[in-house]
Chains A and B, each alone.
Chain A
Amino acid sequence: MTAPALDFADHPHEAADRPAERAPADASETPSLPAAAEIAAAFAGFAVLGLCAGLGSGDVGTSVRAVPSGLLVGMGALVLTGPALVAAHQFLGLRGRPEALITALARGFVLSGKTALGLAPAMLFFSATSGLWAVVFTVLLLGIGGLGFAFTARRLLETEPRGNALVDLRILSLVASWVALCALIAARLAWDVAWFVLG
């Protein structure tokens, strides 16, 4: 015998409030930006991962330059592509709020930073015991970037009410284009940052 489901979706008063064409999500439904502590933890995560990687070089200068490397690539790509994403979103006439887009990007950054913090002990292990610091750091950053993109893309898709085929196509195309552009910019920044770190 299973318990009856508590289904809050079928209330008549909700149906009455729901017109055929639903208005864009109002401010009260926009998810909030991550807390300052979460953003600080994300920054710290990238910095700690960079430091753990840099120590593997055995050089103080390289270690110091490696600290902001992940941040430069990640934040740089977000800052350069964020405004373009919002502008294109509005240009395409999509209904989600720009604040929701910014929140999705911010949450993706926080997720990436926390993942970086969790991976730092493993990075330190390889830095301490092998000469593979650069390879492992690159692989980990690629993995973190991939997870961050996947998470952010999903959140961006959730900002738009679905159901209309044309709208779905537009939001999917926008998010796919943003992911591709962001990845290319991140790769370009990573090239310069790598030379900076290696001195």
Chain B
Amino acid sequence: MIPLFAFMEPPPLALGLVLLYLGAGAGSALALARRHQPAATAASALVAWPILLPLLWDSPRRPGARGPLAGRIEQVLDALDTTLRDPAAGDLAGDEDLVGLRASLLQADERLALVDKLLAEDASDPWIARDLDALRTARDHAMAEVEAVLSGVVQLRIQVGLLALAGNAAPVRDRLRELRGRIGALEEVSRLNAR
């Protein structure tokens, strides 16, 4: 007989604590399943529910105002997504790369929407007008950066065909990350300027 424990019965309190933990895990798994999370995610909640708590707290992100580039962002990224999903393209890039880039671009677009709202305010006070000029310059720079990233995505889509023929996936992922990094740098600069 394979000895499982060196003592005859596990301490009741220890067993109780373990059952309590697993019970919380089961509750979390059910809650995740109800939120249409994948089965693997719900199953892993049984043992790792503290790590998955953010999925349960889900305060769904309030959809921000659509900015000036929202439509173009969706159009360009949908086109790239369609191209990458083509079986002939192979496994050139993971979903996460594209999803992350889309999220970053849409966030940048929402910030542009906020800034546009501020710029539309009354600028009769000379001191406010001066600040608005600075804000307008920053906004134009941010917009130029987003448009440059979108141009990069359009070029990348064209290059996918060549890369698929060569069977070399690394440049596509690297390029997507580079584009994400560019948007990330824009966020960092904005954060620094705001201090």
Is there a contact between chains A and B in the complex with CB atoms less than 8 Å apart? yes
Binding site for B on A (CB under 8 A): 1-6, 8, 11, 13, 128
B124 within 8 A of partner (CB): no
Q: Are B141 and A8 in contact (CB under 8 A)?
A: no
Q: Are B17 and A5 in contact (CB under 8 A)?
A: no
Q: A8 — which chain B residues lie within 8 A by C-beta? A: 131
- A–B Cβ pairs within 8 angstroms, 18 of them: A1-B141, A2-B189, A3-B137, A3-B138, A3-B141, A3-B142, A3-B190, A4-B134, A4-B137, A4-B138, A4-B141, A4-B193, A5-B193, A6-B131, A6-B135, A6-B193, A6-B194, A128-B14
Interface of A is mostly: loop
Q: Are B127 and A6 in contact (CB under 8 A)?
A: no
> Which residues, 161 to 193 on B, are CB-close (under 8 Å) to A?
189-190, 193
Known: A4-B141, A6-B193. 10 other contacts (CB 8 A): A1-B141, A3-B141, A4-B134, A4-B137, A4-B193, A5-B193, A6-B138, A6-B194, A11-B127, A128-B14
A106 vs chain B, min Cβ distance (A): 26
Interface bracket on B: 10 to 19
Distance, CA A6 to CA B136, complexed state (A): 11
B115 vs chain A, min Cβ distance (A): 11
Q: B194 — which chain A residues lie within 8 A by C-beta? A: 6
Q: A4 — which chain B residues lie within 8 A by C-beta? A: 134, 137-138, 141, 193
Q: A11 — which chain B residues lie within 8 A by C-beta? A: 127
Distance, CA A13 to CA B194, complexed state (A): 21
Distance, CA A4 to CA B141, complexed state (A): 9
Question: Pick the contact of A128 from B17, B135, B190 — CB < 8 Å?
Answer: B17
Q: B190 — which chain A residues lie within 8 A by C-beta? A: 3
Q: A6 — which chain B residues lie within 8 A by C-beta? A: 131, 134-135, 138, 193-194
> Which residues, 35 to 77 on B, are CB-close (under 8 Å) to A?
none
> Which residues, 1 to 43 on B, are CB-close (under 8 Å) to A?
14, 17
**Minimal Cβ-Cβ distance residue in A for B190:** A3
A63 vs chain B, min Cβ distance (A): 13
A155 vs chain B, min Cβ distance (A): 19
Q: Are B193 and A3 in contact (CB under 8 A)?
A: yes
A49 vs chain B, min Cβ distance (A): 18
Q: A5 — which chain B residues lie within 8 A by C-beta? A: 193
Distance, CA A56 to CA B138, complexed state (A): 58
Distance, CA A4 to CA B136, complexed state (A): 10
A5 vs chain B, min Cβ distance (A): 5
A8 vs chain B, min Cβ distance (A): 7
A163 vs chain B, min Cβ distance (A): 21
Distance, CA A5 to CA B191, complexed state (A): 10
B177 vs chain A, min Cβ distance (A): 21
B98 vs chain A, min Cβ distance (A): 26
Question: Pick the contact of A13 from B14, B127, B131, B189 — CB < 8 Å?
Answer: B127
B112 vs chain A, min Cβ distance (A): 13
Q: B127 — which chain A residues lie within 8 A by C-beta? A: 11, 13
Most chain B beta-carbon contacts within 10 A, residue among A2, A3, A13, A128: A3
Q: A2 — which chain B residues lie within 8 A by C-beta? A: 189
